[in-house]
Amino acid sequence: MKKCIVVIVQHALFDQQMDILGKKYDKVDYLRVPAAGWTLAQINDVCDDLLKGGADIIMASPIPALLMKLSKDIAYSVGVADGDNCSNCIAVNVYTFHNDNRIKKQFGDKIVMTVAPDGWVLI
């Protein structure tokens, strides 16, 4: 089963995120989203590729259209479960990082809240 981290090229994972992934997986592949993003047609192609043969997909960057497409396609491709048996099932898990911690930064009169570098969990 593939282990794929989806991340925009300008984004970098925090050290704690890397540690979490290292404890969960021996090896992961990165799917780098271009700075200009993808067209909807490209997102559809990426989704189709990710779903081939099952995968653990870790969304490290927010790509709403990809999340929607993955959710929709997984729901339609799973098939009907009959107890422990499932016809046409594929094993696809979608994860994302979450952090409740924020850091307050003040720039003159403007206050900006940013995500803290620690406090991450993979959900």
pLDDT at 90: 64
Q: How would you classify the pairing of strands 120-122 and 110-115?
A: unpaired
Tell me: the pLDDT tens digits for 11-30?
899 999 999 999 999 999 99
The DSSP output letter for 11 is: -
Entry pTM: 0.75
Residue 31 and residue 3 in contact, taking contact as beta carbons nearer than 8 Å: no
Average the pLDDT over 54-69 and give the result: 87
Give me the residue label for tokens 């799917």. 31
What CA–CA distance (Å, rounded) separates 123 from 121?
Answer: 6
Residue with tokens 């990082």: 97
Residues constituting the chain: 123
